[in-house]
Structure 1
Amino acid sequence: MDKLQKFIFEQAAVRGELVELSETWRHVQSHRTYPDAVRNVLGELMAAAALLSANLKFNGSLIMQIHGDGPLRLLVVECDAELKMRATAKLAPDAVIEDGATLPQLVNAHGNGRFAITLDPKDKLPGQQPYQGIVPLDGDTVSTVIEHYMLRSEQLDTKLWLAADGTVVRGMLLQKLPVEGGAEISEDAALETWNRTVALGSTLGNEELLHTDAGTLMRRLFWEETIRVFDPQEPQFYCSCSRDKVGNMLKMLGREEVDAAVADLGKLTIDCDFCGQHYEFDSVDCAQLFIADTNADAAQPPSPTRH
């Protein structure tokens, strides 16, 4: 069972989380085989998205994207406040990727890589747009890229430890919380605790993170600290694609372009990048998409005219 475990340090302005994804990770890999280096950075981005989404304060999704100018062109992970997740990666057509390729080699070959976080509310107010922050790719690993983003864009000291292989994804987050006025802990004491917990976390190696469950890790790393542990949450794979959404995408292309594509290909086939679901639209299906819109327009009463 996949699990995300939240915890806080008593009498300290630090919170932490540990996440483990195996079933969700298996679903992401079930319809596509990625080179090992790509697979691992995608898994690390999934762990990071789950760790940050666990603190979402709205009904919606957090979307993380890394846009690349190397053999790896795009990484996308989407996670909502209920920890329903999906993820995908896109390679350049001529991509040649070595097993030990680093993140900069994969996505920042010419210095044009970008990292973006989008907060997309589910129930938008009229005229409301998703919030998006885009920054240059600053860091050699997924964890450092996100740490830099969180410090610059959110003014939050954040440390991440992330690891992935073909079987499991694991990650740990530590975050320094602001000290409120009148709090029992001083700024100096909060900084001392933060530095100590980060130092303890930094003893965590990649192999230990990959092969150790959350409870054992907390005991090993923070055995001298007083920690309050919350009920675990259960991340899971979920893809929101549907035939209706694909149809709406085709309608956005316009009838002329869709009709031309159907005439050329016989039918349109679309596979979801996230879950592999296959959709087909023949000439009748496509005609019905636009007939429905025409009928809806015809059903509207005429606008009153002024004299």
Structure 2
Amino acid sequence: MEDHLQKFMFSTAPVRGEIVSLHNTWREVLTRRQYPAPVRDILGEMMAACALLSANLKFDGTLIMQIFGDGPVKMLVVQCSSSLAMRATAKFSAELEAEAAKGTQIPFADLLNASGHGRCVITLDPQDRRPGHEPYQGIVPLNGEAGPLQSMAEVLEHYMRHSEQLETRLWLAANTERAVGMLLQKLPGDGGIVPHAGEHDADTWERVCVLGSTLSQEELLKEDPQTLFKRLFWQENVQHFAPAQAHFACSCSREKVGSMLKMLGREEVDSVIDEHGHIEIHCEYCNQRFEFDPVDVVQLFSANDVTVGVTPAASQRH
């Protein structure tokens, strides 16, 4: 099953859409880390949503989506580049793992926004960002006008409405095999298409949103994107664009870990070596392990070669 994202534009109104299906990319995340079912499903929905939002970046760079929770889920992070290279990770309490093992169903708001202080942060980081220039960052609470938001789709619709001033609808789903999603977005003005009456624009937006609302999570996970599209929009005049391929990629490396250790300083690194005999660092995203023994540390602070002592992720499990 291919991982791809399909973009489309409705010809009679400034409304665009996207459908994404992640199989191999999502499985790469799950083979590296074990997540309780509630965390897994939310993280998968974030993966699909991050791909959908990244597809509209107008620069080469990375979109970073973070949820900071104040419930049993402490943090969820997904990174997606403009080329749809993706990685993801999550942190959660041991109590949640035990409850999930019992099959306990925990509502979204209780997982991430138990005390009402959870927040969503989206960062746009251009690859050619000049030194001293901070990346753009938008932050919204996990609360809407009517109280705590109840799903990842609601969170991101709330974010797009308040941070980007764009009317957006999202449908997301994930399980152990796939992370999938669909986005519909109303563009300002004519959206670069043929002129049309304002009333037609409003009718088109409302109509396609009603059609999208007929989708269930089960249907999203069961059907391929082409089938879903034909089922929903077969009567619409739609322009399709070339599909884009998504893939898993982690940017960690022994060189980057070595640079981090150098920033800590020789005294701090030596104190860890004295206490534990070695330094071991795991990448939170791909679970790759980087180990530095006393000889590696000496080489690290006296030379640039830090290419030894890395254990492939395939032999590691948390």
TM-score (norm 1): 0.91
Q: Superposed, which structure 2 residues align to 1:157-168 within 5 Å?
A: 157-168=167-178
Provide the residue aligned with 2:116 in structure 1. Answer: 111
Matched residue SS, 2:150 = coil
* Residues 1:152 and 2:162 are matched in the alignment: yes
Deviations 1:151-182 (A, max 9, x none): 10100000000000001111000000112499
Among 216, 220, 240, the alignment partner of 2:251 is 240
Q: Which moved more, 1:124-133 or 1:271-280?
A: 124-133
Among 283, 289, 311, the alignment partner of 1:278 is 289
The alignment yields a C-alpha RMSD, in angstroms, of 1.6
Q: What is the identity, as a one-letter code, of the residue corresponding to 2:51? A: A
Matched residue SS, 2:245 = coil
* Residues 1:24 and 2:25 are matched in the alignment: yes
Provide the residue aligned with 1:297 in structure 2. Answer: none
Provide the residue aligned with 1:53 in structure 2. Answer: 54
Change (3 A) 1:160 1:109: same
Q: What is the identity, as a one-letter code, of the residue corresponding to 1:149? A: Y
Matched residue SS, 2:106 = coil
Between the aligned partners of 2:302 and 2:71, the Cα distance in structure 1 is: 43
Task: Give how far 1:25 is off.
Answer: 0.6
Q: Contact between 1:251 and 1:290, CA under 8 Å: does it hold in 2?
A: yes
Matched residue SS, 1:276 = coil
Q: Contact between 2:12 and 2:204, CA under 8 Å: does it hold in 1?
A: no
Provide the residue aligned with 1:73 in structure 2. Answer: 74
Between the aligned partners of 1:272 and 1:13, the Cα distance in structure 2 is: 42
Deviations 1:236-255 (A, max 9, x none): 00111000111122222232
Matched residue SS, 2:239 = strand
Provide the residue aligned with 1:249 in structure 2. Answer: 260
Deviations 1:8-46 (A, max 9, x none): 111211110000000001100012111111100000000
Change (3 A) 1:155 1:264: same
Provide the residue aligned with 1:296 in structure 2. Answer: none
Q: What is the identity, as a one-letter code, of the residue corresponding to 2:85? A: K
Q: Contact between 1:179 and 1:185, CA under 8 Å: does it hold in 2?
A: no
Q: Which moved more, 1:15-24 or 1:29-38?
A: 29-38
Query: Unaligned stretches of 5+ in structure 1?
Result: 294-307
Provide the residue aligned with 1:300 in structure 2. Answer: none
Provide the residue aligned with 1:301 in structure 2. Answer: none
Change (3 A) 1:144 1:13: same
Provide the residue aligned with 1:290 in structure 2. Answer: 301
TM-score (norm 2): 0.88
Task: Give how far 1:287 is off.
Answer: 3.0
Provide the residue aligned with 1:174 in structure 2. Answer: 184
Between the aligned partners of 2:190 and 2:238, the Cα distance in structure 1 is: 20
* Residues 1:129 and 2:134 are matched in the alignment: yes
Between the aligned partners of 2:133 and 2:62, the Cα distance in structure 1 is: 15
Matched residue SS, 2:123 = strand
* Residues 1:200 and 2:211 are matched in the alignment: yes
Task: Give how far 1:94 is off.
Answer: 4.1
Q: Which moved more, 1:224-233 or 1:74-83?
A: 224-233
Count of equivalent residues: 293
Task: Give how far 1:115 is off.
Answer: 0.6
Matched residue SS, 2:244 = coil
Matched residue SS, 1:291 = coil
Q: Which moved more, 1:5-14 or 1:21-30?
A: 5-14
Between the aligned partners of 2:248 and 2:303, the Cα distance in structure 1 is: 33
Provide the residue aligned with 1:214 in structure 2. Answer: 225
Between the aligned partners of 2:82 and 2:13, the Cα distance in structure 1 is: 26
